[in-house]
Amino acid sequence: MGGSISLHLVGSSNRLQQFVQQLPAALFLVDESGTIVEANERLLCETGYRREDLINQSFRLLLPYQGTMEQLYQELLNREADQSLEVEWRDSKGRTGKASAMIMVQAGDHPLYLIQLLQMERETHQHLAQRLLAKLTHDSSLGLFVLDERGWIVEASHVACKLLGKSRLDVVNKHVDQVFAGIPEEHRLIRRELLDGVKLYNMATSWTNDNQRYELIVDASTLQDESGKTIGAFLLFKDITNLRSLEQKIERNERLAMIGQIAAGTAHEIRNPLTSIKGFLQMFLQSFSENGMDRERTYTEIMLTEINRINSLVSEFLLLSKPRDVQYAIVDLNTVFEEILPIVESQALLYGIEVQFSSRGQLPLVVGDTELLKQVFINICKNGIEAMGEQGTLHISHHVDPEGDKVSIDIKDTGPGIPLYIIDKIFDPFFTTKEEGTGLGLSVCQKIIHDIGGQIRVSTKGYGTTFHILLPYL
């Protein structure tokens, strides 16, 4: 199987190099001088070389052939049909094997040779293992990283690369320090301690890239050779984000149902006396003002402010706890932000915060309740401003969700971030880290967005937090 074919491959050398990377077979490119100019992932995986070990090296590093590249091409081309078309190849440890070869030539003043090696597996069990690895890498819903003993990532599944928010070319054959550059060791998904023999079994953890937070179940262990020496490690994980979100939603709904029963019986009992108290205080205020009793008027104004605060808290309590008939309508998010930005910017000005809105005029139409959406955006922006303190930037942008059915409004601050040990609690009713907070703001926001078929996600890496409000769009 295999052969040597003379073809005029159409396209530039750069396009040919890109084409080589996209093919699943083991391939490499050699120029007219016999120098390797490109090698794809499959070849690197089969031979154990890193890309930098091969590029600009002689093709004889891979194929221990005494002649030139042109001579090898002509030799294979001239073999009879009943003769073997196998060539000898050599891996990074100096071990050799046989493989069927097919060579194609891009003719021209500076010819390029494309060499494809077929059936490189030495034994049947290796062949099956390679097939399993290929399945895990390309067709499985599992995430997989495989490292060598030096900490280089020699394999990564598509799911794993998606989790990192990177392409395979930016992950495979890269050192873990390159892939996780700028991220502290304790916050990395792949840690050096794996190569020291640390094993993980069904460990629950989370990972956040720039766009999304993932809940994972992780297994990890080392790989040994025949003598028991550690030659690498693997990390295998399953994304359980949707399952975890469902569990949290059920738990939250159960809590809200209990709160609703309490609220329904007490809210009106609280509001009725408050209405009477507020009415009499307003009368006192008018009387004090007319009689020039400034000190008493000030005290009454403070009491009225606190009464209004209690009323506002009761209103949030009722909105959170009982089902609400949402007034669905087509909402222009551009108009919504035009109306709330002055409010957000004036709040930011008090803290010395800069507001950047990069989606002006670009937002789509959504289905929802205009006033409730304003409430959500203002609340989350206000939280971000308060989290940054006296300086920072609040950036408001948007992107279309990869699933294609929702638009994500992204509100990002440059504050200290949310500690991992409390990030799962921020949407719980009455949970707050503010001295004067009620713990209902984010709970109310989440309920509003859920009621119109959307989601709120949060991502933080210890140096800033991003809230992603996902809404169905038209």
CA distance 446 to 469: 9
Percent of the chain with pLDDT over 70: 80
Indicate the number of domains in the chain: 4
Write the CATH number for 167: 3.30.450.20
Residues 98 and 137 placed together within one structural domain of the fold: no
pLDDT at residue 10, rounded to an integer: 44
Residues 195 and 82 placed together within one structural domain of the fold: no
Residues 307 and 183 placed together within one structural domain of the fold: no
CA distance 223 to 23: 28
Write the CATH number for 432: 3.30.565.10
Residues 283 and 228 placed together within one structural domain of the fold: no
pLDDT in tens, 446-459: 888 888 888 888 88
Domain final residue, candidates 184, 216, 239: 239
Residues 259 and 213 placed together within one structural domain of the fold: no
Distance (Å) of CA 372 to CA 259, 346, 355, 381 = 21, 20, 22, 14
Residues 336 and 462 placed together within one structural domain of the fold: yes
pLDDT at residue 320, rounded to an integer: 57
Residues 339 and 452 placed together within one structural domain of the fold: yes
- CA angle in degrees (0–180, nearest 5) for 71-85-6: 55
Cα radius of gyration (the chain): 32
Residues 317 and 353 placed together within one structural domain of the fold: no
CA 396 from chain centre, in angstroms, equals: 18
- Quote the domain boundaries for residue 400: 329-472
- Tell me the three-class secondary structure of the chain, residue by residue: CCEECCCECCCCHHHHHHHHHHCCCEEEEEECCCEEEEECHHHHHHHCCCHHHHCCCEHHHCCCCCCCHHHHHHHHHHCCCCCCCEEEEECCCCCEEEEEEEEEEECCCCCEEEEEEECCCCCHHHHHHHHHHHHHHHCCCCEEEEEECCCEEEEECHHHHHHHCCCHHHCCCEEHHHHCCCCCHHHCCCCHHHHHCCCEEEEEEEEECCCCEEEEEEEEEEEECCCCCEEEEEEEEEECHHHHHHHHHHHHHHHHHHHHHHHHHHHHHHHHHHHHHHHHHHHHHHHHHHCCCHHHHHHHHHHHHHHHHHHHHHHHHHHHHCCCCCCCEEEEHHHHHHHHHHHHHHHHHHHCEEEEECCCCCCCEEEECHHHHHHHHHHHHHHHHHHHCCCEEEEEEEEECCCCCEEEEEEEECCCCCCCCCHHHCCCCCCCCCCCCCCCHHHHHHHHHHHCCCEEEEEECCCCEEEEEEEEEC
Residues 210 and 256 placed together within one structural domain of the fold: no
pLDDT at residue 469, rounded to an integer: 92
Residues 356 and 452 placed together within one structural domain of the fold: yes
Domain final residue, candidates 239, 262, 290: 239
What pLDDT tens digit does each residue of the chain (474 aa) get? 444 444 444 445 566 666 677 677 788 999 999 999 989 888 888 888 888 899 999 999 999 988 899 888 888 888 755 555 788 898 888 888 888 888 888 777 788 888 988 876 554 445 556 666 666 666 667 888 888 888 888 888 888 888 888 888 888 888 888 888 888 887 788 888 888 888 888 888 877 776 677 788 888 888 888 788 888 888 888 888 777 666 666 676 666 666 666 666 666 677 778 888 888 888 998 888 888 898 888 888 888 888 887 877 777 666 655 555 567 788 999 999 998 888 888 888 888 899 999 887 788 888 888 888 988 999 899 989 988 888 889 999 988 876 667 889 999 998 888 887 787 778 777 777 776 666 777 888 888 888 888 888 888 876 789 999 998 888
Residues 451 and 334 placed together within one structural domain of the fold: yes
CA distance 21 to 40: 5
pLDDT at residue 59, rounded to an integer: 94
pLDDT at residue 7, rounded to an integer: 43
Residues 377 and 406 placed together within one structural domain of the fold: yes
Distance (Å) of CA 431 to CA 65, 210, 314, 378, 420 = 71, 25, 16, 19, 15
pLDDT at residue 9, rounded to an integer: 46
Domain final residue, candidates 75, 105, 120: 120
